[in-house]
Copies of this chain bind each other. A is one copy, B any other.
Amino acid sequence: MMAVYTEIGTRDLEAFIASYDIGGLLSSKGIAEGIENSNYLIHTEQAHFILTLYEKRVQPEDLPFFLALMHHLADKGVSCPVPVYDRKGNDLRRLAGRPAAMVTFLEGMSVRRPQVKHCALLGKAMARMHLAGLDFGLTRPNALSVAGWGALLEQSRGHADEIVPGLAAEMETEFAELKASWPTDLPTGTIHADLFPDNVFFIGEQLSGVIDFYFACNDLLAYDIAICLNAWCFEEDHEFNVTKARALLNGYRQVRPLEAREVAALPLLARGAALRFLLTRAYDWVNTPNDALVKPKDPREYVTKMRFHRRIGGAGEYGIDL
């Protein structure tokens, strides 16, 4: 694993920290977390913070949405990093030529191989986050939902068969079917849209918080669940673990009951979520030079998952009580 980050001069950093009311700078360490942005763990006389410099993959015009969402969720009791305001009341700043923000440090550890208990805790936390986000005032369309897949497919179609023979045609068919039947009448709200295990922290037997809201957007709430079924409920060998899915879904429903049509749509949404990550991984796979610093994730994992969801008879196979 590796991190590439923008270096900040000590004096620039000291001046930056001094523009906040958080005490003097004691230490700063570049942390190897996430490949999208540069992150520093900052210790001041008052507390610990994460300072993020937003690199090219994040659209600067989206940053006010992400920062405001973290404020909103934190105000509603969701445990997540909270952007810190400087002395002038700004949370979005510039540093080392990049957009930058400081957020509070969130304790906890992500789990590489989630167990059933983690899935149950995730389900509850996601439902609480969905409820807390219902009255969030800003909106951001999901560029990586069904409306965006056609363009992504264009970009990787030519090389898709190098990943798995026949994959281009398989993705075309899948996209056409999903586009034709994608639900439009399900409850919507603010979703995280990237709730993978590395973005959820635990301490002992508790979920301590959720991080990395840089894909958050407005979309079907059940689509967030579908992403998590893909990201949390398959084993290392890509076999589906129905016990984990049941724990996730039951945890969620304890906090926010699912409508019958949301449950019924889950297999379709899960196919869509699998296609979405297949498409971005396939794009990175064929567009990353062999000598790149960051190795792309294997897209084939999501071929297997997409096929699983296409094959099943209904949401009952996720272990949910219908």
Question: Using a CB–CB distance below 8 Å, which chain A residues touch chain B?
Answer: 1-5, 7, 9-10, 13-14, 24-33, 41, 43, 105, 107-113, 201, 203-204, 291, 293
Cα distance, A286 to B30, chains bound together (Å): 28
Using CB atoms, name the residue of chain B closest to A14. B109
- Residues from chain B with Cβ under 8 Å of A28 in the complex: 109
Closest to A201 in B: B27
Report which of B13, B27, B108 forms a contact with A26, defined as CB distance below 8 A. Answer: B108
CA distance A231 to B123 in the complex (A): 54
CB distance from A41 to the nearest CB of B (A): 6
Chain B residues positioned under 8 Å from A291 (CB to CB): 291
Q: What B residues does A2 contact at CB under 8 A?
A: 2-5, 293
Please determine whether A27 and B293 come into contact, CB atoms closer than 8 angstroms.
Answer: no
Q: How far is the CA of A13 from the CA of B32 in the complex (A)?
A: 17
A25 to B13, CA, bound (A): 29
Give complex CA distance A5, B25 in Å: 26
Question: Nearest residue in B to A4 (C-beta to C-beta)?
Answer: B2
CB <8 Å contact, B27 and A3: no
Verify A9–B112 contact, CB threshold 8 A: yes
Cβ contact within 8 Å between B1 and A7: yes
Chain B residues with CB under 8 Å of A27's CB are 105, 107-109, 201
Question: Are A112's CB and B10's CB within 8 A?
Answer: yes
State in angstroms the CA–CA spacing of A300 and B91 once bound together. 43
Do the beta carbons of B293 and A10 come within 8 Å of each other? no
Partner of A109, one of B3, B4, B25: B25
